[in-house]
Chain A
Amino acid sequence: MSARSVLRAAPTVLRVGLAEAVAYRAELLVWVLTTTMPFVMLAIFSAAAIDGPIGRYGQTELAAYFLATFVVRQITGSWAGWQINVDVREGTLATRMLRPLHPLVAYALEHAAAIPMRALAAAPVVVILLATSARSGLSRDPVSWLLLLVSLALAWLLTIFINFAIGCLAFFIDSSQRVLEVYLAVFFVASGYLVPLDVFPPAARRALSLMPFRHQVALPVEIFVGRYDGRAAALAVELAQQAGWTLVALGLVALAWTRGVRRYGAFGG
């Protein structure tokens, strides 16, 4: 399908996707509740920071960091890996493959369609961010805010591509669900979702900087909380790395998909 055809189809796909997200609003709410871990971590770290800051994080910085983490995850979260796993195992991928819109593009559009509902769920947190002292922990640099949008877009792509790549393992093994669970466990720790990465010891920080996970959450959150204010050049390097990881993930997706589809058994009907 040409890019023009995708663009022509996109508004309807997004509209129907949004209608589905609204239809599953209760499920979405439950999902949002399962993503409140940053608040738990905020409570734990805040208690620990009563006697003094943890690294660079005082009470205000912690509040800003974890509330920003919650917002970033709402926007960039992906369930595509689970979706592909089920579709491959149950044969429902067949329906998607019979349409002249690449199934991975369709998954991505469905994810994009769910963003407004997720943003709605994140809205109260944004209000809290702006209404409390956490506000002073946010970026004040317009350039950072602008580049935050770029970083969020890349984080969204990187996360969905990693999900695609792991989901496609279902073509090769009985189920990719366990791999997804392992990925999620590593992601929680290594992405800065549960713990700010700069509280790790230097050696661990160096190891984590060689992985893609920090570009999924920590980087946009750090831009959000003003870590790169006035450091546009440093931020450009980070964004280039983020883009690089996104391309690597895209390459893996292309490989896993093209090889996987050849093995696809289209079982179940």
Chain B
Amino acid sequence: MIEVRSLRKAFRVPVREAGLFAALGSVFRRRYRTVVAVDDVSLSIERGERVGFLGPNGAGKTTTLKMLAGLLHPTSGTLTVDGHEPSRREPDYLRKIMLVLGQKQQLLWDLPPTDTFDLNAAIFDVPRDQYVRTRDELVELLDLGDVVKKPTRQLSLGERMKCELVAALIHRPKVLFLDEPTLGLDVTMQATLRTFVRRYNEQEGATLLLTSHYMEDVAALCPRVIVVDRGRVTYDGSREELARQVRPVKRVTLRLARAATAEEVEGALGEGVRVVTHDAAELGVEVDRANVGECVSRALSRLPVTDISVEDPPLEEIMRELFRETSAARLEADADATARVDADAEGAPDSGEDA
């Protein structure tokens, strides 16, 4: 469904320093630098797949989504979505996709959302009966009721986001690009949207590519994740495999009949076990995947366990660790680059003299 090969997007951005003199200087001599937002990205996504697209701020996620949606022209590389070249923005292609940008809205601000739905149905050329059926179904699924008849400006953020989804889905797209769809929503609303998106994917067989800083969105929706950093894909595979690679441990949560100290629990469970969360009688410990069985059996025999569960560490923690590693590598790379620039600058006069 989605094929991306060696995709690259570079922006030429003006460099302007603060201050009056810098501002005046830029009138006569403007300097630019090239920022590579996406660098040699290749990926392939099958029809109906749900994929999380993850990375720290500025990693190139949204730029990639915008290229897939046809908003941005790639600097180089190829991409096709269901046989279409997105940057051509053919009407047939636009009828197959939707892009929801969490920070942008398409609802008409001073009119009720239902007017935007009508507008989209007309523009996407949706037959009247299909439109009414889809709209009513979506309004019911998202429990919107009469909300759609109030002017958009009077709606809460959650209500607006739900209406945004209805507006974006009126033409029943087959590919959903969701960029931070739950941004700023409360926990209940986030859960509602996740359930809805998942149901839509299952009912319509739609392909989903999601970016979100809320790892719960990804955990609930995406069996597969693609991690990007500095414009490059650093991981592409299952969530479980990512957890295994980044944190080769399991999280064992113990509920005890009485309060216990971390030292007591670590002592009872033996070496290689580390308490990572502790709340009186409830403790979370991390243990190597190979030693999980032994750890559980020791816990059951040596501690007053009332409940026990074994899981992968939360995706949130995995991503934090992954991004910490990559930002450390980034700092190191930046320091190297600065050192190289300094060395070049120092070496310049010598070069001049040699010349």
Contact = CB atoms under 8 A, between A and B. Distances in A.
B104 A23 contact: no
A265 B11 CA distance: 8
Nearest to A98: B99
Contacts of A98: 69-71, 94, 97-99
A225 B123 CA distance: 40
A81 to B, nearest CB: 21
B121 A12 contact: yes
B123 A9 contact: yes
Nearest to B97: A98
B85 to A, nearest CB: 14
Interface stretch (B110-118, B155-163, B320-328, B339-347): B110-118
A9 to B, nearest CB: 4
B118 A16 contact: yes
A19 B111 contact: yes
Interface in A232-269: 261-262, 264-266, 268-269
A196 to B, nearest CB: 39
Interface in B100-126: 101-106, 108, 110-111, 115-116, 118-125
A57 to B, nearest CB: 43
B69 A100 contact: no
A12 B94 contact: no
Contact of A13 (B66, B97, B99, B119): B119
A24 B111 CA distance: 10
B110 A266 contact: no
A100 B123 contact: yes
B198 interface: no
A29 to B, nearest CB: 15
Given A12-B121, A98-B98, A266 B115 contact: no
Contact of A100 (B62, B99, B103, B125): B125
Contacts of B19: none
B110 A8 contact: no
A95 B119 contact: no
A257 B97 CA distance: 23
Interface in B125-166: 125, 151
Interface in A1-54: 1-2, 5, 8-9, 11-13, 15-16, 19-20, 23-24
A92 interface: yes
Nearest to A95: B106
A11 B92 CA distance: 21
Contact of A266 (B72, B91, B106, B120): B72
Given A16-B119, A23-B110, A97-B89, A8 B104 contact: no
Contact of A97 (B70, B98, B119, B123): B70
A58 interface: no
A8 B102 CA distance: 30
A23 B115 CA distance: 12
Interface residues of A, number: 31
A110 to B, nearest CB: 11
A126 interface: no
Query: Chain B, interface size: which category?
Result: 35 or more
B95 A100 contact: yes
A14 to B, nearest CB: 10
B302 interface: no
Contacts of A94: 66, 71, 99, 101, 104
A8 B95 CA distance: 16
Nearest to A94: B71
B73 interface: yes
Interface in A95-133: 95, 97-101, 106
Nearest to B87: A262
Given A12-B121, A269-B104, A262 B94 contact: no
B71 A266 contact: yes
A97 B92 CA distance: 13
A12 B122 contact: yes
Contacts of B71: 94, 97-98, 264, 266
A145 B104 CA distance: 46
B119 A269 contact: no
Contact of B110 (A24, A91, A265): A24
B103 A269 contact: yes
Contacts of A12: 118-119, 121-123
Given A13-B119, A13-B123, A20-B111, A95 B72 contact: no
Contacts of B94: 98-100
Contacts of B124: 99-100
B70 A16 contact: no
Given A264-B72, A265-B11, A13 B104 contact: no
A9 B91 CA distance: 13
Contacts of A8: 122, 125
Contact of B91 (A5, A23, A91, A264): A5
Interface in B60-103: 62, 66, 69-73, 89, 91-92, 94-95, 97-99, 101-103
A100 B91 contact: yes
A91 B179 CA distance: 14
5 contacts: A9-B125, A23-B151, A94-B66, A95-B106, A262-B73
Interface of A: 1-2, 5, 8-9, 11-13, 15-16, 19-20, 23-24, 91-92, 94-95, 97-101, 106, 261-262, 264-266, 268-269
Given A100-B92, A269-B101, 11 more contacts: A5-B125, A9-B122, A92-B104, A94-B71, A95-B105, A97-B70, A97-B71, A98-B98, A100-B123, A101-B123, A268-B104
